[in-house]
């Protein structure tokens, strides 16, 4: 069942990134994804350039990371913590909430899923997994300022949650 959960989460993350199609403004054409042929784009049809993903700005936060000491232990939502998964802890976001975290120093970004509570050190807002910290280039620094955007699917009113 754990592998099914991981596959589901990977599918959701890939879907969030991959569902945005952009039209070529110069030639007004788009690629048909099934057979890679070029097809004309109807300018009145906004579906080609419209994303199915909404990003809600949550502002800047102070993020730290946690890893080896907690690896293999149970998180607040009941799953086993994997320091190499793209997850994070926050005190109030619902479990399963997807966030786009951007390091303000180098503009590197990562998408994480909230699966734990914390951090418990005053002045910090997010605790990122080691994999998330590595992707942001913050492992050596330990604590950085980040921009946070909540990710949601348009027309979907339920949070994406992991199955046990």
The predicted-structure confidence for 101-128, as pLDDT tens digits, reads as follows 999 999 999 999 999 999 999 999 999 9
- pLDDT, tens digit (0-9, with 9 covering 90-100), for 147-157: 999 999 887 76
Distance CA 96, CA 126 (A): 15
Residue 14 CA to residue 11 CA, distance in Å, equals 5
Domains and CATH numbers, the chain: 2-40 (no CATH), 53-153 (2.40.40.10)
DSSP β-bridge partners for residue 61: 146
Question: Can you give the pLDDT at residue 61?
Answer: 98
pLDDT per residue as tens digits for the range 70-100: 999 999 999 999 999 999 999 999 999 999 9
What percent of the chain is modeled with pLDDT above 70? 65
**Residue found under tokens 């700005």:** 57
Tokens of 37: 């042929």
């Amino acid at each position: 069942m754990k592998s099914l959960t991981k596959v589901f989460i990977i599918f959701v993350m890939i879907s969030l990134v991959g569902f945005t199609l952009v039209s070529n403004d110069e030639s007004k054409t788009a690629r048909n994804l099934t057979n890679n042929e070029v097809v004309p784009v109807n300018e009145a049809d906004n579906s080609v350039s419209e994303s199915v993903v909404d990003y809600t700005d949550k502002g800047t936060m102070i993020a730290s990371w946690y890893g080896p000491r907690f690896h293999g232990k149970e998180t607040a939502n009941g799953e086993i913590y994997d320091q190499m998964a793209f997850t994070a802890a926050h005190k109030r976001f619902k479990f399963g909430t997807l966030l786009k975290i951007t390091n303000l120093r180098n503009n590197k970004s990562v998408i994480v899923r909230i699966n734990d509570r914390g951090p418990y050190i005053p002045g910090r807002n997010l605790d990122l997994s080691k994999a998330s910290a590595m992707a942001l280039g913050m492992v050596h620094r330990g604590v950085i300022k980040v921009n946070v955007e909540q990710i949601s699917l348009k027309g979907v009113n339920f949070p994406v949650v992991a199955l046990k």
